Amino acid sequence: MKKDLSGVLAITHTPFTDDDEIDAISLKRSIDWAFAVGANGIGTGMVSETLKLTSDERMALAKMLVEFAAGRGPVFSAVGAESTKQTLQFAVAAEKAGCDAVMVVPPLTGKLTELLLVDHFRAIADGISIPIIVQDASGYVGQSIPINVCVRLLEHYGPDKVLFKPEAAPNGPTLSALRDATGGGAKMFEGSGGVFLIDSYRRGITGTMPGMDLLDGVVALWKALQRGDEETAYRVYFPICAIVALELQAGLDGFLAVEKYLMRKRGLFPTVTRRKPYGWELDAETAAEIDRLYDRLQAALN
């Protein structure tokens, strides 16, 4: 049965053991927690460290997500790679594993023309029966995807087959440009971790894809926006925004360092281990400020 891709779709973090293997026990614990606090579905993305996983690990991770979700919501897998052949291999494996969709970034090592981008995404869409989420992650990695590419894909496949996660800067105007270019037909997600969520919501997004570290807050914020409760929305938003601002100072490494710190703080992960190499460590003073902001978030939720 087709599952609805909307609402809060949490991006799982990948826990590692001391032997640098995927920690399945901790992964399952975090997924159970995600659904318990109100996530509508789960998937993998950049903060899952997918680009640092081996091919076998990426395919195994997709299977684990489907198994651990146990039908509680849709599951999608990030399948972006440097060639169309690789990407399609990951996408086919994700569909066989039982995923409900895949998420695709363009190749990161070369700048492709609009025509080549369309060809790349069409090859993936045509090679599987499940939907694809076209991700522009150029706010932190890779090239941006021209709006015209998205329009052509949507016109060819329709909104149930091709969805979009535009994260090119500036985020808000990029969302509005895609919305307007498609007459409101594009189903759009944002992935700012919550920092742009209120603005994005007002621009007509279908859902948000945050990491799990602040998931209880993002779920509460999303629900407040849905019911028009701006007082609650802003009360919850401000500590989320402040924490994400600290993550942003070091790019993707900053997000991963802080997010895994909070996953351990919540008791979901036993360690903060990230896959090497990475270029930024969380220092004690930043961690202390995160602790203070985390306490404010929990107070806002109670």
Q: pLDDT confidence of 2, banded at 50, 70, 90?
A: confident
Q: Distance (Å, rounded) from C-alpha 47 to C-alpha 256?
A: 6
Q: By the 8 A CB rule, do 232 and 256 touch?
A: no
For residue 121 the two structure tokens come to: 């995404």
The pTM for the full model equals 0.97
User: Between the CA of residue 62 and those of 95, 97, 109, 184, what are the distances in Å?
Assistant: 9, 7, 24, 31
Q: Which of 97, 179, 163, 98 lies closest to 124, judged by CA?
A: 163
Domains annotated on the chain, with CATH: 7-212 (3.20.20.70)
Q: Report the pLDDT value the prediction gives residue 140, as an integer from 0 to 100.
A: 79
pLDDT over 90, % of the chain: 95
Of residues 26, 8, 6, the one with CA closest to residue 16: 26
Per-residue confidence (pLDDT) for residue 1, from 0 to 100: 61
Average pLDDT, the chain: 96
| Helices and strands (H, E) in the chain, number of each type | 11, 8
pLDDT at residue 171 greater than cutoff 80: yes
Count the Cβ atoms, other than its own, within 10 Å of residue 240.
Answer: 26
Assign residue 45 a region: left if phi > 0, alpha if psi is -120 to 50, beta otherwise?
A: beta
- Classify burial at 254, counting beta carbons within 10 Å of its beta carbon; exposed 0-12, middle 13-18, buried 19 or more: buried
